[in-house]
Each structure stands twice: as C-alpha cells, then as structure tokens.
Structure 1
C-alpha cells in the first residue's frame, strides 16, 4: 500500500453504512555517529511514531451509533521494534492475537469517540483529525548497516592547508522499500582562517560560519556509481593548522521506513485510503580517527 496516487480520506459526511476511510502515517528518525574507518564503532539510535488520520465525518457516525464498528489493526514486520509505547488512553495490544512478528491493536471505542468529539468542538472547521497511536524504538543492525547514508572522513592538517576526503555511500538495505534520500547535505567546520577552497565536487564556503557545505538534491542506487563517492577539498589557510572538526549530515526520505513496519486493518467498517512513510536524519555526525 504505497502512498503514490492514493486519495486521502474524504472529509465529507459519512453515512452509517459507509466504510470509514483512514490514513496512517509513520515518521521515523535516525541518529548516527561514525568514528574513523572502523564500522563496528558506529553508534546508531532510531525511533518512530505512528499516527492515524480520521475524517471529520467520523465524529457523527461514532457519536450517533451506540455500537460502532470496532477499530482494530495489525502491525506486521515488527521483529526489529523495541519499546513499543502505545497511547494507553486509546488503544491496547491484543496479546492473544499477536505473534513475534505481528502485533494486533484494539481501540477503546468510547475513548476514541470522546477524543474525536473534543477535537471537533475545539476545531470545527478541520477536515481531518490526527491522533498519535504509538511510539517505538528500532533495534539497529550491526555496525553501520542501519545507516542509509554512510560516511568516513580522512583529514590531513598541514601548516598552510588542510586536505579533506569524505567517502560516502548510499545504503539501500537500510530502508524499506529502497527510496532516494532527498535534500542531502554534508557540512564541514574548518578553522585556521581559510583563504581559498578547491573542492570536487564544488561546495559552498561560508566564511562567516567557517563551514563548507556540499549538497545533493537526491541520492539513490540510480545516482552515479550507485550512490557511492567521495567529497574532496583542499582548504588553504592563513593561520593553520586547522583542527579536525565534526562533520554533520542531513537528509530526508519519503515513501520508506527504516523499520520496514507494515500496517493492515482487521475486520470491517473501515478502509485504508493512504499510507504515508517518511524518515529523517537527526544528529548525524562523523569524526575522523582520534590519534
């Protein structure tokens, strides 16, 4: 159930007999710390949250129906999740129906009705109501295998210049399904009063912040060399040598998750109209070996 070409739930009036359209969104974040060339030293932390979006028309259906259809869903591919924290006011985990790789979640219908009614009173013109369902942590794979964008930095600091090489690699195995990383940037701090920068590919030097910035619109297995490459630069200095700084990266990805988690409705009365998946980089940094 990809998000391409799907219609969002129609917020218009929903009749008692209609199936109610729902949208689900998974939003995940990855923090990574790369140190030197040894992949085993890479530290990774990932987490996510899941939200359901209800159309306004559902409020009347739930409020006027003494016995509304029970809302229940199944999460599949959850073997890499840790610390699943459900919104306990609204949902409970159905342990009888859950397995190692699937979790079945039941809604407390009176609590859901009350929450949606409160939201509609607070915001009567809204077309949709977003409800936080659960938060979770994702267990990282070994080394840098969980990182969609892998980095290694090599610094050579001389009196009058610093040579820098940053090897990068797009890792399609870190996400599901493989999708391009968007708005990729790599930022390098450089002290020592830089007077000139020679870079391949070209970068942007910001003298005020003493930072060099490389940018890619997107990076994927369809990029040059399947998303593997190097950023190289020589920084000519007036007051060298410079110190080895901490490099930081940023990116986002639409239509994929790090966890590979899947969502399906159980039972009747509701239908899934849209699944949104995305992940972003959090604190994503790279140091050279400390000698």
Structure 2
C-alpha cells in the first residue's frame, strides 16, 4: 500500500522589512535522513526554490493591504509529497456509544504511533535543528452531540459549545521516560476519552468523531525529516534584499473521522440473508 504524505512549507514574514531592491528569494528544502528511503536514479535530496523578487514584493504589498490588521503575512512557498510503502497510519481509534433517554455515554480509544529515529545516526548538514526538535504536540477531538445537552462530564476535561452542539478536547502527547533519552523521540501514546452528556429530549444518536493532530517539529509519519534553510545568493551574501524574522516548522495532520459502530440489527437490514432450502427441494435431491 502506497501512502502519500502531503504538507506545505509556510513562511511567516514581516512585510515591513521588505525593500524595493530585492532581487531573488531563495530557499532550500533538504531531506536530511535520506538513508531510510530508496531513491530512484535522478532523484535529489535537496531542492532549490527561487522566486523573482519583484513578483514576490508586489504579492506581499497586495496581501498586506487586504490584511492590514495582521502583523505577519503568510506565504505558501512549496508543496511536497513523499511516497513510501508499508507506512502504518499515525492514528488508530474506535468509539463506543450508549444512548438513553436522559443521558448519552461516549468513549473514544485512540493509539498514536510515530516513527522513532536517533539523531546520532544522521549527520545534519547545518547547526539548525529547530525543524526537528519537538516543542508541542497534541490531539484535537471534536464531537457533535444531539438530544439537547444540558451539561457534560468528561475525563479528560473538555469544552462544550452549546451554540454548535459540539464537544472538544485538546490532549497533549507526553513523552515516556525512555523516549526522553533521545534527542528526536518517537511517540507511542494510547489513551481514551470518556464523556457523559445529560439530555433534555433524548435519546441521542451516535455521531462521527473528528480527530486532528498538531506537531511542532519532528519528522513526518513516513519518517522523513526535512530542513528549510537559506542559501547564499549571487555575490556570496546570504539573504540579500530581505530579512527573515521567523521560520517555524509545524505539521498539521488532516482530519481523521471515526464513524460510530453499526448496530447488528442495522447490518442485518442492509445485508440480505439467504433463506434455507425448503424441505421439498431437499427431498428432490
């Protein structure tokens, strides 16, 4: 099974530092731990992105006029895809429901598995390890509940939005004592969410659960570690014509949806059952 991981490299830039004399905007995207992949002939581990300075400058001026109240302007610079075989999904989960007239009980079991690798087995081309150090990572769970919810009790604590009839949780992923020994630890975390909703006009109905992960730093689920850095322009001066004030590496996973379990009665209604042969047919054989 081929799994494609698609992400975007976004740069947050202060438009007030851009000058009229910029010539080229050049960044390099480097695959650091290329040894874990089988590269085809002609495939490179470093890609250069060059944008004409005048085109970038006019784009930033137009964007800044539309978002004058925002301090930073976000520019989508590059989309990249990594294909690999045998990559397990980073998140697996299942749900349990019990819907009664006055209450709805909900439980979500999840398991997060992220690749592990040791920084000592890969030499970085530069001293910038900001793209690989993990500073924040969490799971974000959203659930719609019907039946007129009066109040919610849950562990861990969550928030209830009565206008959107939605329950939300933000669960931090903590490292184990063993993973703290590595500079670039992987993540193996399992846990559950338990919630009870008190209703006014139940019973409610099971709903799909949306889950998303956020991760500052670290590698992709495929195991690839990418580094984004500046390259010296013509003349040997790095960053001529612009000032880069912040370069942040954040991985936002797409939304995972977990459908509620199908009742056995619902399955028998959808799937036709073969009737047993009649006694006349059996006797004729």
Change (3 A) 1:273 1:158: closer
After superposition, give the CA deviation of every residue in 1:201-242 in whole Å (9 maximum; x if it has no partner): 3333344433333334x333259x974321112334454332
Correspondence 1:60 to 2:21: yes
Separation in 2 of the partners of 1:130 and 1:193?
A: 40
Instruction: Find the partner of 2:28 among 73, 78, 101.
Output: 73
Q: Tell me what 1:270 maps to.
A: 238
After superposition, give the CA deviation of every residue in 1:58-97 in whole Å (9 maximum; x if it has no partner): 75374xxxxx9x9573532597xxxxxxxxxxxxxxxxxx
Change (3 A) 1:236 1:176: same
- 8 Å contact from structure 2 (residues 13, 246) kept in 1: no
After superposition, give the CA deviation of every residue in 1:235-289 in whole Å (9 maximum; x if it has no partner): 3445433211011235533334535222355554326986421122443432233
Separation in 2 of the partners of 1:156 and 1:139?
A: 40
Correspondence 1:134 to 2:78: yes
Instruction: Find the partner of 1:189 among 144, 149, 165.
Output: 144
Separation in 2 of the partners of 1:189 and 1:129?
A: 33
Q: Tell me what 1:213 maps to.
A: 168
SS of residue matched to 1:115: helix
- 8 Å contact from structure 1 (residues 161, 236) kept in 2: yes
After superposition, give the CA deviation of every residue in 1:31-55 in whole Å (9 maximum; x if it has no partner): xxxxxxxxx9xx9863323549699
Instruction: Find the partner of 1:115 among 49, 55, 77.
Output: 55
Q: Which has more radius of gyration?
A: 2
TM-score, length-scaled by structure 1:
0.53
TM-score, length-scaled by structure 2:
0.54
Change (3 A) 1:140 1:181: farther
Change (3 A) 1:237 1:45: farther
1:144 is displaced (CA, Å) by 5.1
Q: Tell me what 2:279 maps to.
A: none
How many aligned residue pairs are there? Answer: 217
- Structure number with the higher strand fraction is 1
- 8 Å contact from structure 2 (residues 107, 193) kept in 1: yes
* Unmatched tracts of structure 1, length 5 or more: 1-39, 63-67, 80-97
Q: Tell me what 1:82 maps to.
A: none
